[in-house]
């Protein structure tokens, strides 16, 4: 783990976390920019069809997270090589953050990023909305590392892992309800 409590290096962890976070933000922003560019292909599809497809994907994502359906997600099922972080820690942290922020280089086991990406692709929103959403993806990934860095207690992680499925499902249902209200209202 990048920010484990026993981690020691000649570079301060706070500096590495800042560079890692910058990489996450850049990666998420780049991915969203690509999605925005590709969303132009969805523009000719009638709005109600796009809305229905977005809702269907969102319902499927919530059902997958709740464990009601088993759907494998397309992902690059490999870890980022350890060599990335071994030689030049700042550059490695930036690269690792960027690759993790794009969401295409390593594991993405949750449904939410896929639902959001397809929503952005089919929704054909403006560039600001789409790019800010991608930046938000990077921020979301940075929160995990920041909380881990700030907590420095393994017991906290154990409690978090127990509560995470409940939180994830509650957030998924809330987002789905809000999306339905926005798109249908």
- The 8 Å CB, 24+ separation contacts for 37-41 are 38/121, 39/120, 39/121, 39/122, 39/123, 39/124, 39/125, 39/130, 40/124
**Separation of alpha carbons 107 and 115, rounded Å:** 16
Q: What are phi and psi of 153, to 5 degrees?
A: -135, 125
This prediction has a pTM of: 0.73
DSSP one-letter code for 42: G
| Residue boundaries of the structural domains of the chain | 13-184
List per-residue pLDDT tens for the chain, 185 residues long.
455 544 455 567 788 888 999 999 999 999 999 999 999 999 899 988 998 898 898 889 888 888 899 988 877 767 767 776 677 888 888 988 898 888 777 777 788 888 888 888 998 888 988 888 888 888 888 887 787 777 766 676 677 667 667 766 677 677 667 666 666 65
């Amino acid at each position: 783990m990048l920010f484990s409590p026993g981690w020691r290096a000649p570079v301060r962890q706070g500096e590495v976390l800042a560079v890692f976070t910058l990489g996450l933000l850049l990666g998420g922003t780049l991915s969203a920019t690509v999605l925005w560019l590709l969303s132009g292909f969805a523009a000719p599809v009638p709005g109600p069809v796009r809305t229905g497809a977005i809702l269907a994907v969102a319902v499927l994502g919530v059902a997958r997270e709740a464990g009601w359906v088993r759907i494998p997600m397309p992902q690059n099922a490999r870890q980022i090589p350890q060599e990335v972080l071994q030689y030049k820690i700042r550059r490695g942290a930036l690269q690792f953050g960027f690759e993790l922020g794009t969401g295409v280089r390593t594991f993405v086991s949750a449904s939410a990023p896929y639902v959001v990406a397809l929503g952005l692709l089919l929704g054909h929103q403006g560039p600001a909305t789409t790019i800010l959403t991608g930046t938000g993806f990077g921020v979301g990934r940075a929160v995990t590392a920041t909380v881990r860095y700030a907590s420095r207690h393994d017991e906290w992680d154990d409690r978090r892992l127990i509560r995470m499925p409940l939180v994830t499902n509650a957030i998924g249902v809330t987002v789905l309800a809000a999306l339905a209200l926005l798109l249908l209202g």
